[in-house]
Chains A and B, each alone.
Chain A
């Protein structure tokens, strides 16, 4: 049972380059999320998808776009990477009801130079 799978695990970009972080879950979860983790900060929500076909902004959406491709997959795109986007990115999924926990992927460590 793979759970939540993120690719790639590591990535180095130059300022201005674009890339897409991929995320897939095999738990038939309705909701999916993208978070970033920075030193001294809590996990911060970038975007989320409450259900297939919907996406909404989280706490720090600027500079990012998302696509809920189908129920399994939720991608995060950086159109023009900036050094401020250097971070560890986590994808998560949940059943989407009030008491359902998040299930996290293993993270993507992104460095923008």
Chain B
């Protein structure tokens, strides 16, 4: 994998459903993997930053896991609510620099009431 890839591109779920998205990235020269939540007409907000292989982080109903050896991260949302509707972005450092982040194109989640 040369770039940061996210799947699916979009997702529609019903209120109460649990769901998950995937972020795949190059495993070489890894520093950190970021997850952001981006609501329409707002700016991206950080959810998690993970650096260690096997890392798991949780914030309320949202959690994330990281596998740096195989180059993927999963974001899980338990019991989705309409207010979870947003685009979820992942990003990892690139070019051997801790400052340059390469973003994926995002997963657009729509939670229907």
Name A residues whose Cβ lies closer than 8 Å to a Cβ of B: 31, 33, 35, 40-45, 48, 50, 56, 58-59, 90, 96-107
Q: Is there a chain A Cβ closer than 8 Å to B49's Cβ?
A: yes
Q: Per DSSP, are chain B's interface residues mostly helix, strand or loop, or mixed?
A: strand
Chain A residue nearest to B52 (CB atoms) is: A99
Complex-state Cα separation, A73 to B44, whole angstroms: 20
Of the A-B pairs whose beta carbons lie under 8 Å apart in the complex, a sample of 24, sorted by A's number, is: A31-B99, A33-B99, A40-B105, A42-B89, A42-B105, A42-B106, A43-B89, A45-B100, A48-B100, A50-B99, A56-B99, A90-B43, A90-B44, A96-B98, A98-B98, A99-B49, A101-B36, A101-B46, A102-B34, A102-B36, A102-B46, A102-B101, A104-B44, A106-B42
Name B residues whose Cβ lies closer than 8 Å to a Cβ of A: 4, 31-32, 34, 36, 42-46, 49-51, 89, 91, 98-106
Residues of A within 8 A of B104 (CB): 42
Complex-state Cα separation, A96 to B99, whole angstroms: 7
Check if B43 sits within 8 Å of A45, measured CB to CB.
no
How far does the Cβ of B92 sit from chain A's closest Cβ, in whole Å? 11
Residues of A within 8 A of B102 (CB): 42, 45, 59
Check if A106 sits within 8 Å of B43, measured CB to CB.
yes
Check if A42 sits within 8 Å of B4, measured CB to CB.
yes
Residues of B within 8 A of A90 (CB): 43-44
Residues of A within 8 A of B31 (CB): 98
Check if A99 sits within 8 Å of B4, measured CB to CB.
no
How far does the Cβ of B101 sit from chain A's closest Cβ, in whole Å? 7
Residues of A within 8 A of B49 (CB): 99-101
Residues of A within 8 A of B103 (CB): 35, 42-44
Complex-state Cα separation, A58 to B34, whole angstroms: 18
Set B50, B91, B105: member contacting A41, Cβ < 8 A: B105
Check if A103 sits within 8 Å of B101, measured CB to CB.
no
Check if A45 sits within 8 Å of B42, measured CB to CB.
no
Q: Which of A40, A42, A45, A107 has the most CB of B within 10 A?
A: A42
